[in-house]
Amino acid sequence: MHTKNSLREAISKTVGIVIGLVIVIAAVAGVLIYMTTQVPLTTTTPTTTKPTIEKVKIGIIEPLTGRYAVFGQEAVDAARLLVDIINNELGGVNSLGGARLELYVEDAGTSPDSAALAAERLVSTYRPHIILGAYISRLTAAVAEVTEREKIPLVMDALVDWLTEKGWNYVFRLAPRASTHGKAAVDFVLEMTQKKNVSIRTVVVLHEDSIFGTTVANGIRSQLIAKRVIPNETITYPHTITDFGPIISRIRELNPDIILSVPYFSDGILFAKALQASGIKVKFIAGAGGCGYTDPDSIREAGEAVEYFTNTYSYNPARQTEWNKRIVRAFQQKYGKLPTEAAGIIFYSLMFVYESLEKAGQMFPEDPLNPDNLKTIFLSLDLNDSNSIAAQLYPTGRIKLAANGENLYGGTAILQVIEGQPKVVWPEAEEGVTPVFPRP
């Protein structure tokens, strides 16, 4: 039985506890009210917003002045045409929300130093996501030194073999290697000699002395030896040559049946005119490397002097695929001539870039333009006529890059000047065309 004092003590303790609880609850409530007014209450991790990409910056560096400007200008014309098609007909890069390609052009000039400066200028001013160029191999090597340092993928339109053998991580090439051109020229000539029952006693290999000319010529000689045809002599001349007189005299002494020639542009025109003026009769002159004789500009400058000459090309303008016919027609309508080597390489290279960007947006939506992500995409694609516009523009209809960035399915076409017009004659002649061999 409780006494009054004990009862009072019990009540006091109970009241104290209750008051304490009220104070605690009030304090907690106050803290909660404060927190809700200062920061949102959440226990979830904030979601990452997919980056908005309005444009993809594409740089192109080509020789737009000097002796190689004819190639550089055609390449830039081709790039502008393709960018317009991609942006306005294909709707931009759909996986990137319709991002448009924006083209930035720089002149590579005529030397490795000027090409490197062009690359530095392009990178510092615009920081392109991808760069194309620079057609001339020694200029391209200088550009690659800059793009490799900056980790910007370079899709080359130069052909010298070793450009993909230097261990660079961000260099890629769809076009066939230079030595492939030399091999193709030999294979074509030997196939024609068998079909036409034409005998060969002597062969002269004639080439300009740049890295490009030397590499293509090495491909020619290697294939001649493999086919047990030994060239009579190799004649090398400076790529800046202005007088073919002494070389014409040497050719007269050698009296070759076949001349396998690796020109650029100006030297090819000079040689063809000098040979025509000499009156020397050669059964056939086969070019290699896509840099003269049978392109529209060479035909315009050399006229009848290049009639029945052939040359190998990294592009087949007569390939009968839907997209190739469409783009050739668009180029002719816009620029008034048939696209050949310089334009053709840009056609499939830039369309390959576009298709890679589409894939990058799907595989790497958070960072599609990261150079390592782009490299992963470049090396993963296996393209053919049924799944790729780029493949429809390629001579072999197949594009798959090796680990060093080289196309495993590189191939060429051969064009011949017939009645003043460039015609595809090999490996499959265009409809209604037959190779003229030997020269009449």
pTM for the model stands at 0.87
Residue with tokens 């030297």: 267
Encoded tokens for 15: 């009241």
Per-residue confidence band for 7, with pLDDT thresholds at 50, 70 and 90: very low
Containing structural domain, residue 148: 55-176+319-409
Same domain, residue pair 62 and 154: yes
Q: Count CA within 13 A, CB hemisphere, residue 102.
A: 10
Write b or e for each residue in 305-317: b if 16 or more Cβ atoms lie within 10 A of its Cβ, otherwise e. Answer: bbbbbbbbbbbbb
The predicted pLDDT at position 18 comes to 39
For residue 98, being part of any structural domain is answered with: yes
* Span 199-258, pLDDT tens digits: 999 999 999 999 999 999 999 999 999 999 988 899 999 999 999 999 999 999 999 999
SS3 327: helix
* Span 335-380, pLDDT tens digits: 999 999 999 999 999 999 999 999 999 999 999 999 999 999 999 9
Same domain, residue pair 203 and 294: yes
Beta-bridge mates of residue 55 = 100
Per-residue confidence band for 302, with pLDDT thresholds at 50, 70 and 90: very high
Same domain, residue pair 183 and 172: no
DSSP strand E in 134-283: where?
154-156, 171-173, 203-208, 233-237, 258-262
The predicted pLDDT at position 50 comes to 60
The predicted pLDDT at position 43 comes to 33
Contact 237, 259 (CB under 8 A): no
Q: What is the CATH number of the domain that holds 383?
A: 3.40.50.2300
Same domain, residue pair 76 and 138: yes
Residue 7's identity, in one-letter code, is L
* Span 375-427, pLDDT tens digits: 999 999 999 999 999 999 999 999 999 999 999 999 999 999 999 999 999 99
Per-residue confidence band for 26, with pLDDT thresholds at 50, 70 and 90: very low
Same domain, residue pair 190 and 294: yes
Same domain, residue pair 185 and 301: yes
Same domain, residue pair 367 and 333: yes
For residue 200, being part of any structural domain is answered with: yes
Domain count of the chain? Answer: 2
SS3 311: strand
